Structure 1
């Protein structure tokens, strides 16, 4: 395909850039995507844009160079800088906004794959500000007649929002009500032959629940911190009965949220119409395993962070054994790029020497096949959690580790 378009790319790229763009098309786009080629929007949207956009063609060359064994960061940064110099920072029409949003999302992807723990989130905030200036996602997609390319950009943003350490720190950037309106009520990814999302596959409903869990955690943690300040502060509590009422109300809310969200997880299911688009029983089985893995991941989040259950508890360990078995199976599939969040939660939940040795080997296997920097960063967080919680008796909040490291971590 690329050779037929080389005359167009010669307008934007030198020969080396064209080589790395080709590498992105033939290798990187397929490595990043868990969808069939028919709905690989890294190719259908981003690569198509690169034919006519200087900034996008340079960015995809940079993404290709990042993964190529003969390249280095100086080459990657050369094409990123060229892309930055050619993008319209202040778009004026809807097409400029579309290109600029794609620019931000691609640059975020490059930074995350490189293992960056700061710049990607600054770009994410710029992307959010861009959409706010435009008038919001609903206006954006209406103005583009609900095109599948536009849906991909919005789903891409949503995925990076939920899969960020900042979501566990202060909640998702956009409300889950907004996301649910777009994806559950308006069913953006289920209409007009959108296909299977390259980041989320058929299992977006469980990612939306994960975002809801994180937002509830932020709210409950805020209450818990205030209560602990009163319980352990130097100021004498003048009305103990009132404080105890607040405590009981807090624990009641925890129970209610835990059971409400557990029910939602139990009744959640992948998008059936998308499952039917997979070509083989093996592919469908793999996507169902990924869905089961994320259901367990969500339940582990609920137990660890809503109920504050110790990792060494039988409840967590039961989930852990099942999750590790699923991860072992999924490493052998094309869905390997979707394991990051589950690897993190499983890592925090590993308490025994046996499980930690197993997970060490698992990270090596994942990194050997999916050679991206944020996998290494996640592994760093897991190892630090083991240092802080040698026996598994403490509920380790991985966002505290990120904050101590000064990191804003992406699980994408």
Structure 2
């Protein structure tokens, strides 16, 4: 029986009949759709749903998420119902102080739920405002480590921090400003202290057992931000009408290109030696292991494409990028029919930007259609729009298109989750 029916007397205190029906859709449809973990570690249910039993704001948040997917409603009514429960939840959570650590826990969970709702709705603004609320909460609390310590590194708490880290790395704003939290701190928590491998945490619902490659993607994006600023300053000097000291400028150029080559070598080696979490892989069935390993290889290729497109500034039409594109599309074809379909967004974006001819663009277009059919969320449409705009701006694939520029021109902040 659905949990909400078994606990209906509790939820009746918080939700009306429509809210209870939406909550059913969250449990039966939303949580399985967005999670790539087995049921045993689906923290959208283990953490969020359990918390909703005793908390009204969380109940309203999950009802809003369920309303967005409620098959009994038309598109207009879905958003009407979704916004109704968001308004109720917002009023409740903003009236809550953070004097108690549990109140902070509830607020963080609620903000992360609202991020998930807005991303699924295809929002290009409000999800990031809730991410900034998470940032302020962590700062006021004393940081990620203190938050984890105060809750004795409980699995629920680790899920909230991992959830935040994932949205941080997968944000378009990260390509503009770098990750909100330093990758050194993330690596300390997840790579060196291995907090997701302790206390039977299981498989992370967003990152599966391949968090290591997402952490590396964050490092690549931070490197891009630092080098891009340097490149802009250098180009400004090169385009001045009068250069009084050409030798000094050429030395700056040589120094810059040296750093580029060093970073490419360093990061390329890290990509080659990166491995999925074997302890977590061992918790999966043979078939699920094979799929998660394919997803890991897809993101390994995605990292390579990021590295060469954005740091080395390699043309998409180059044989190097095209080789990666063909391999990535093959894996996407194999994963689109699996429960890992929700993890394909970032790879679809980078593959899309790398398509330079009618053949590849038609193929990728069909992949977007398949993904959207299986993973019917608004965020896929937004990414699709960015890809199609890149094709308009780069007819033959002979220039490097920065997808962040497209987002900025559209006035969008996008999450790749």
Contact 2:96 2:103 in 1 (8 A): no
Aligned mate of 2:153, from 140, 146, 151: 146
- Which residue matches 2:88? 82
- Which residue matches 1:172? 179
Is 1:8 the counterpart of 2:14 in the alignment? no
- Which residue matches 1:404? 409
- Which residue matches 1:237? 243
Q: Which runs of 5+ in 1 are unaligned?
A: none
- Which residue matches 1:330? 335
Residues 215-239 of structure 1, C-alpha deviations (whole Å, 9 max, x = no match): 00000000000000011123x1111
Equivalences for residues 247-326 of structure 1 within 5 A: 247-278=253-284, 280-326=285-331
Residues 157-176 of structure 1, C-alpha deviations (whole Å, 9 max, x = no match): 00000000001111001100
Matches of 1:27 and 1:111 in 2, distance apart? Answer: 17
- Which residue matches 1:36? 38
Matches of 2:247 and 2:67 in 1, distance apart? Answer: 64
Contact 2:35 2:42 in 1 (8 A): yes
Matches of 1:94 and 1:253 in 2, distance apart? Answer: 44
**Residues 188-197 or 70-79, more deviating:** 70-79
Kindly state the Cα deviation for residue 90 of structure 1 after the two structures are TM-superposed. 3.3
Matches of 1:63 and 1:41 in 2, distance apart? Answer: 15
Kindly state the Cα deviation for residue 70 of structure 1 after the two structures are TM-superposed. 2.6
3-state SS of paired residue (1:96) = helix
Q: TM-score normalised to the size of structure 2?
A: 0.98
Q: TM-score normalised to the size of structure 1?
A: 0.99
- Which residue matches 2:141? 134
Is 1:361 the counterpart of 2:366 in the alignment? yes
- Which residue matches 1:343? 348
Kindly state the Cα deviation for residue 69 of structure 1 after the two structures are TM-superposed. 2.5
* C-alpha RMSD over aligned residues: 0.7
Matches of 1:208 and 1:220 in 2, distance apart? Answer: 19
Q: Which runs of 5+ in 2 are unaligned?
A: none
Contact 2:25 2:70 in 1 (8 A): yes
Kindly state the Cα deviation for residue 80 of structure 1 after the two structures are TM-superposed. 0.5
Count of aligned residue pairs for this structure pair: 410
